[in-house]
Structure 1
Amino acid sequence: MPQITLFGATGPTGKAVIREALRRGYTIVVFARSPDKLDTELRFSGKIKIIQGTLDSYSAILSCLRNSTAAFILLTPSDGFPRWAGGSSSSLTVTSGYHNIIRAMSELGVKRLIGIGTPSYAEPQDGFNLGLAVTVPLLKLLAPRVFEDVVETGRLLKGLGGDTNIDWTWLRVSLLYDEPAPRNGKYKLGFTGQGGRIALPSLSREELSKALLDEMEERKWVRGMPFCWT
């Protein structure tokens, strides 16, 4: 099977994607600032190559992308949270990371990019959902740097235009949880409002990992930003 590179794989979503990718037989390269955050059984399984680095280390990014067919960017803008909430109040951490990763992909000829974002970046096709109508403005008020980072990442991808050699897809998600999806809880892709107009849409990380890998293989949303929910 082809080799894929994962950025932001030491978090709960990243670990779910690793397990799904291993189940499908992919060779995996993990780019991590703190490799020890990866579960021991994964770190020493012999099935994963780990490259340590930060998002401003261009040479390390190049190294982990070499010979890969796709990059999965599972970063979250947690640094933009206030210091009291565990962040560093840094600005546009994720957007800057995307810039460097896209630059390296272009240099190496890696064409497929799969990322995750949130409904903070709205699409024209999005509909009304009360839960999102409350939480998105609240995030903008309480953590403006986080909100800004998500929006700027969306603008960066949209700004690549049709002439780019990067075939990107950005799955937007809201409330993620770790438990397996309920029976008949297969993920859906579309736009906000289609999964209901009242409750905040949720999604298990297990189903998100399937959605991300399915999109890489099926290419149904190239240069699209679908909302994902169950």
Structure 2
Amino acid sequence: MKPIRRHSAMTNLHGPRHRRLLIALFASHFFCTVLFVSAGYALSEGFNLSPISIGLNLITGIMLCVGAYIPDNMLARSAWSSIPIGLLLCMFASICLLFWGGSDSSVITFAVSCAGFGFAVVNLGVSSEKAEVQLQGLPDGFNHKMVSSRLLGLAIGFAISALFAIVQWGSFHIGLMRLVNGCAFCLLAVSFIFISKISRVRAWE
């Protein structure tokens, strides 16, 4: 019975760290999906840009997001691969759009780039912490839960973005864009607070 109790205690001890990774993955994928789709819609309907021009405005952020899945890159070996820092960068991108006046498309390009960078930092931080936690043992099915968190974030993000596009089909209302990104900002803020609390528990351990 003693080994079983010991294993149970270790599982309970490191449970919050597992949840930290899942929350970070969900929040980052949800946020970037909402921001990229709403930004693309704003460029299309608000500025009447062609698909090629929209792609050029979003390409930097997209490449940064893709870079998060490239193993052993320069960012992964730097101090920037941290979940809290990545969430802060995403929050900054959201703030840029919340205070955007609607007249300058370069603000959208800048916000998308910050979001892509934040996404990459969060996901590289998750990979780094997963390797650290893995030494102490991962719970059964944890890798599947990580995939599910990513897919759930993407699915809910696309659903909200689709609703955003349907409500204002054929036109563009900056108030709705601020509302959608404001909700995404609130999710990031809650995730950041929760993850910060877990970080303090981790430091105390």
Instruction: Please confirm whether the aligned pair reaches a TM-score higher than 0.5, indicating the same fold.
Output: no
- Structure in which a larger fraction of residues adopt strand: 1
User: What TM-score do you get using the length of structure 1 for normalisation?
Assistant: 0.24
Greater RCO, 1 or 2 (C-alpha within 8 Å, sep 6+): 2
- Structure in which a larger fraction of residues adopt helix: 2
User: What TM-score do you get using the length of structure 2 for normalisation?
Assistant: 0.26
